[in-house]
């Protein structure tokens, strides 16, 4: 769990320059870790996890949803919120399956 939280905090601090605080925590860290594991696990159908700040608080993050179709992500993005997503994309090239993970910041 600590690795994923640290990874997300690194992405958060590198790509988002907050004016208030440089630290953030998940309201339900176990839910976040479970969602990340689900996206990374080959045996589940989950292809993305979407995260946002809770109640506009820049120091609190919460998982909004996980889903099986990454094209859905755009329909859940809110222009009034800072949001983050980790999406899993699979492609086949020369009969070789390739899995890529993409981090989005909205």
CB 74 within 8 A of CB 83: no
Q: What's residue 36's pLDDT? A: 93
Give dist(CA 70, CA 5) in Å, integer.
22
- pTM for this predicted structure: 0.74
Q: What's residue 46's pLDDT? A: 95
pLDDT in tens, the chain (106 residues): 556 666 666 666 655 555 555 688 888 888 999 999 999 999 999 999 999 998 888 889 999 999 999 999 999 998 888 899 999 999 988 889 999 999 999 8
Q: What's residue 26's pLDDT? A: 87
Q: What's residue 93's pLDDT? A: 85
- Residues comprising the chain, all counted: 106
Q: What's residue 9's pLDDT? A: 64
Q: What's residue 14's pLDDT? A: 56
Give dist(CA 12, CA 79) in Å, integer.
18
């Amino acid at each position: 769990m600590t690795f994923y939280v640290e990874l997300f905090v690194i992405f958060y601090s590198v790509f988002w320059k907050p004016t208030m605080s440089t630290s953030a925590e998940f309201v339900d860290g176990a839910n976040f870790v479970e969602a990340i594991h689900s996206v990374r696990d080959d045996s589940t159908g989950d292809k993305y996890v979407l995260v946002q700040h809770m109640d506009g608080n820049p120091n609190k993050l919460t998982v909004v949803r996980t889903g099986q179709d990454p094209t859905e992500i755009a329909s859940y993005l809110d222009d009034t919120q800072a949001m983050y997503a980790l999406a899993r994309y699979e492609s086949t090239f020369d009969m070789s399956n390739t899995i890529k993970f993409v981090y989005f910041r909205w």
